[in-house]
Amino acid sequence: MKLYIKEYSSYRSDEDAVDVKKELKQKYKYDTRRQDTFIHLAVYGAKLLQEKIEIRADDELYVTTGVGNIEVVQKTMTNMHNNNQSIKLFDFLNSVGNTTSYYVATSLGLHGKNIFQISDNFTYLNSLISLYASIANSGKDAILCALDFAGSSDEVTKRVLGVKRDTQLVDSVNYQKFSLDGDSAIAEIEFEAKSYSLSEVKAFISQSAKPLLASQRCRDLECDKESKFFETMASYAINSSIKKSQNLIYIDCFEERYKILKLKSLR
């Protein structure tokens, strides 16, 4: 499967000294009330993308994330089970994934297909597959938001993600606008549903000459890896390579299964 990338946007908490909520209110005149940090991150990334490319009202929207809005879930559970408090209305609403999709779509003026999709593994790649299948049928363009928020207590997040306790988690939001039309594209991405074994992926690496990056979870692979972690790291790696006008092969891993993304820069 192949998709063309028309534009992208990225934010990482360890690289960008930005007060996201303040930026939304002051620069974009966006009403941040009744929303939490998870939603603010999603909307901020959307606004960054909107600055770079025209967004059409019928563009499809996909939002995916590693563990979702874990901080509001933890807060709700603590209030209910430890403090014997009833769930607060906006905490409940913000814990629902479609709430984030709604705010992103509203901020971009989108009126088309709107999906919040999360998988227990390979969530970014699985969203790419769903997105591809949809626009192959509709003929429209699509926007993919890959969002991760570690929260103030990241021990639970690390256990869910299956990474070491000393791993540093960061908050990140990355967007791409995808199309099946290569006209004016800045990059193309290839992917497949197939999973590889360790021996298969090692054989693939030995024959590959392109820049290669792997997830921290690929512990049995000797190749470059990001020192910090968030579940949708593949999305950031793609954007970072586009920024540098570089090609990239990205390898992700979950429970001894490997998947491969290939990026070709077109500028």
* Residue 169 β-bridge partners: 229
Residue 81 CB: number of other CB atoms within 10 A? 9
| Domain spans in the chain, listed from the N-terminal domain onward | 2-187, 188-265
**How confident is the prediction along the chain (267 residues), in pLDDT tens digits per residue?**
999 999 999 999 999 989 999 999 999 999 998 888 899 999 999 999 999 999 999 999 999 998 767 655 555 555 454 555 555 544 444 455 578 989 999 999 999 999 998 887 899 999 999 999 999 999 999 999 999 988 766 666 666 676 777 778 889 999 999 999 999 999 999 999 999 999 999 999 999 877 899 998 898 998 899 888 888 999 999 999 999 999 999 999 988 999 999 999 998
Q: Are 249 and 215 in contact (CB under 8 A)?
A: no
Q: Are 37 and 75 in contact (CB under 8 A)?
A: no
Q: Are strands 248-254 and 212-214 parallel, antiparallel or unpaired?
A: parallel
In CATH, what is the architecture of 2-187? 3-Layer(aba) Sandwich (3.40)
**Structure tokens given for 18:** 């930005």
226 burial (CB, 10 Å; 0-12 / 13-18 / 19+) is middle
Radius of gyration of the chain (CA): 18
- Nearest residue to 52 via CA among 6, 1, 112, 114: 6
